[in-house]
Amino acid sequence: MADQAERQFKLRQLSARLGYEFQDESWLELALTHRSAGAKNNERLEFLGDSLVNFMVADLLFEQFKNLPEGDLSRIRAHLVKGETLAKLAKKLALSDMLTLGPGELKSGGYRRESILADALEAIIAAIYQDGGLQACRGFVESLYAKSLHALDPQTVGKDPKTRLQEWLQAQQQPLPEYSIISVNGAAHAQVFTVACYVAPLNTKFEATDTSRRKAEQKAAEIALEALGQV
């Protein structure tokens, strides 16, 4: 009984963080239950929540950026609804502490896994829709993304560092960055690439290392952007 009372208390605390009080709290419990915990889990809610968040974020972007073309809107939406972004939002809501996981996922630290956190947040979005309807769900999604929407730069958000660096240099009428491989180490199945990104205005090479040439180039471009004050 004590464990159940503590769980109910934590669920009410979570509802307060969500800014939504469930009429039927079983929807919230279901949204927090990973498939590893049993047959009754949040997979169906996650399926519905994925569509809901895509639609509602698209609607919010359509209203906020009235002159942006479809391509830019799609890029920004993709950034806002991707798993990494959803997982960050889930962490801010402290969902990790509330997840119901099976023994295997508990042992492997599943409560920290980004994919599980992102899926749980999508499931919560669907749970609010099921419990309170479309307007309640939209209000939650709008609140969830309020800070992100206010702070984002539609010209840069969702663009990878290499693209942003190239566009900035082009805008300054400067030569494009030059990438070169410095070294490749490790066995064929576990190679590590070190690359350099030369930026003419700074007359500097920025080096980075990662498990693929593409990832290393992106990291080097990110370092260059920081040096240019563009991050």
Q: Does 84 belong to an annotated binding site?
A: no
Phi, then psi, of 207 in degrees rounded to 5: -105, 150
Q: Does 119 belong to an annotated binding site?
A: yes
Nearest CA among 85, 94, 99, 102 for reference residue 37: 102
Half-sphere exposure of 102 (CA within 13 A, CB side): 10
Q: Does 153 belong to an annotated binding site?
A: no
Q: Is 135 exposed, middle or buried (0-12, 13-18, 19+ CB in 10 A)?
A: exposed
Which of the residues are catalytic? 50, 122
Residues 4, 105: Cα–Cα separation, whole Å: 22
Residues 76, 14: Cα–Cα separation, whole Å: 28
DSSP 192: E
Residues 119, 38: Cα–Cα separation, whole Å: 16
Residues 11, 3: Cα–Cα separation, whole Å: 12
Nearest CA among 197, 92, 96 for reference residue 145: 92
DSSP strand E in the chain: where?
Answer: 178-185, 192-199, 204-210
Q: Which residues are known binding-site members for Mg(2+)? A: 46, 119, 122
Binding-site residue numbers are 46, 119, 122
